[in-house]
Amino acid sequence: MLAVGLVALGASACTLHRGGGGSTTPPKAIGRIQAPSQVKAGCGDAARSDPKDLSAERVVARCGKGAPAAQKLPQPVTLRVGIRGRTEDLAPVLLADALGELAKENITVQFVPIDDPTKLYDALGAGQLDAVVGDLDAPFFDLVDQGTGVKFVLGGAVARGANNLAEAQPGFWIRSDQLTAPDHFKDLENDEFALQDGIVDAVADPITAVLRQDDLSLNEVHIVQADGAKAVKLLQEGKVTGAWLPEPDWRSVVGDQRFRMIATLPASESIGGVVLSARLTDHDRDRAVGLAFVRAIIRTINTDLANDYQKDAKVMKALATATGIDRKELAATPPWLFDWELRAFTTERMQTTFVQLGAVLYEEEIPEREIVDRTLYRDVIDAARG
């Protein structure tokens, strides 16, 4: 757990662009992203979508159960996978291990818990990890900027009801009595906000998207670094004005009229997923292993996490064991929706926020092509299509 302390933030950095072509404005529409109601066997037309489709009601890609089929590696491989913790949003990789989909590819994983995002991505850059699964916090972008060749290859959890502030969910919750008007966020200048990782946290992006509508920046508040449970306590005790409350901590404030949610996870796109080391994407090195790892995760989504996995007792039992979270606790919050595809320019939009906040060590945004590699999941799907 990170120590709690107030951090005064400096002036925002100037934003320069070297990427070009991508919109820096995330979609704001209220919608209900969904899985297809019916999917044919194998990987057909439903297994691909246009990455530029950012509509809030789009349908995520899916193959049929058991697809794409395993292609066992000729030699057993062990991969070291860095994670912040065993949380439900990491279900695709946790269940790929627990339910034997990785074993079908001749892969064994060693999960390495590293709670600090800087140390987590430093370990990937140093070769101590082969992959990281979780949020794209600012240290990931610094690692890319250092020329390490790491790539964002698979998406992760997406919000089913993004931007629907009437639907309680993970998001940024504030004390509503601190505002002179519902959307007058400038009233919160110089107040304290609780974020697990401060301005380097991936959720700084959706929070910023809302606050800047009233010309407020996270650089104009004080950040208390606190995880979900601690953030709830600070918010309830009036020691902070706002806090990002992840799954399942947001449930602690639902129905309390003192608080309201003003930001959710982004519509249509994931701000986390799977990052691979350079050797697992390189055609001249171990790309076959990277493909096998990706294939097992996609197959797990299609087989066990296609839509409402809470209705499947086997999946819930395995997920409870893999996360250490009681089944009743898992079922008390809505199921995540998982999307292995990567939306266009998500990484450039996130960088705009990080650069402006001074959360990264560089000032000129890195183009998407240097960060994202969609070829692994596309090659896996195309091979399954025959």
- 70 and 103 together in one domain: yes
- 234 and 255 together in one domain: yes
In the predicted model, what is the mean pLDDT of residues 87-113? 98
Is 173:235 a contact under the CB 8 Å cutoff? Answer: yes
Q: What are phi and psi of 161, to 5 degrees?
A: -115, 50
pLDDT of residue 159: 87
pLDDT of residue 299: 98
Whether 17 is covered by a domain: the verdict is no
Chosen domain end from 211, 238, 264: 264
pLDDT of residue 57: 86
- Confidence class of residue 31 from pLDDT cuts 50, 70 and 90? low
Indicate the pairing of strand 242-245 with strand 171-175. antiparallel
Whether 114 is covered by a domain: the verdict is yes
Burial 317-330, CB ≥16 within 10 A → b, else e: ebbbebbebeeeeb
Whether 6 is covered by a domain: the verdict is no
Whether 194 is covered by a domain: the verdict is yes
289's tokens: 């292993």
- Confidence class of residue 386 from pLDDT cuts 50, 70 and 90? low
Is 16:365 a contact under the CB 8 Å cutoff? Answer: yes
- 305 and 373 together in one domain: yes
Sign of the CA dihedral with 50 first, then 264, 5, and 88 last: negative
Residue span of the structural domain in which 194 resides: 171-264
- Confidence class of residue 28 from pLDDT cuts 50, 70 and 90? low
The yes-or-no verdict on residue 2 having pLDDT over 50 is no
Judge residue 145's burial from the number of C-beta atoms within 10 Å of its C-beta, 0-12 exposed, 13-18 middle, 19 or more buried. Answer: middle
Chosen domain end from 264, 281, 310: 264
- 91 and 113 together in one domain: yes
- Confidence class of residue 13 from pLDDT cuts 50, 70 and 90? very low
Whether 142 is covered by a domain: the verdict is yes
- 248 and 110 together in one domain: no
Whether 18 is covered by a domain: the verdict is no
- 64 and 85 together in one domain: yes
Whether 121 is covered by a domain: the verdict is yes
Query: Which tens digit of pLDDT belongs to each residue from 130-151?
Result: 999 999 999 999 999 999 999 9
- 189 and 244 together in one domain: yes
- 275 and 129 together in one domain: yes
pLDDT of residue 226: 95
- 133 and 184 together in one domain: no
More confident residue, 386 or 208: 208
The total domain count for the chain is 2
- Confidence class of residue 20 from pLDDT cuts 50, 70 and 90? very low
- Confidence class of residue 14 from pLDDT cuts 50, 70 and 90? very low
The yes-or-no verdict on residue 301 having pLDDT over 90 is yes
Residue 354 to residue 204: CA distance in whole angstroms: 8
- Confidence class of residue 7 from pLDDT cuts 50, 70 and 90? very low
The yes-or-no verdict on residue 8 having pLDDT over 50 is no
- 70 and 209 together in one domain: no
pLDDT of residue 239: 97
For residue 232, the domain's CATH number is: 3.40.190.10
Whether 124 is covered by a domain: the verdict is yes
Query: Which tens digit of pLDDT belongs to each residue from 215-228?
Result: 999 999 999 999 88
Chosen domain end from 204, 232, 264: 264
- 295 and 356 together in one domain: yes
Q: Which residues pair with 152 in a beta bridge?
A: 275, 372
pLDDT of residue 11: 33
Q: Which residues pair with 8 in a beta bridge?
A: 222
pLDDT of residue 12: 33
First to last CA, the chain: 47
More confident residue, 326 or 21: 326
Query: Which tens digit of pLDDT belongs to each residue from 152-194?
Result: 999 999 988 888 888 899 999 999 899 999 899 999 999 999 9
Query: Which tens digit of pLDDT belongs to each residue from 162-172?
Result: 888 888 999 99
- 30 and 124 together in one domain: yes
The yes-or-no verdict on residue 376 having pLDDT over 50 is yes
The overall average pLDDT reported for the chain is: 91
The yes-or-no verdict on residue 24 having pLDDT over 80 is no
* pTM score: 0.91
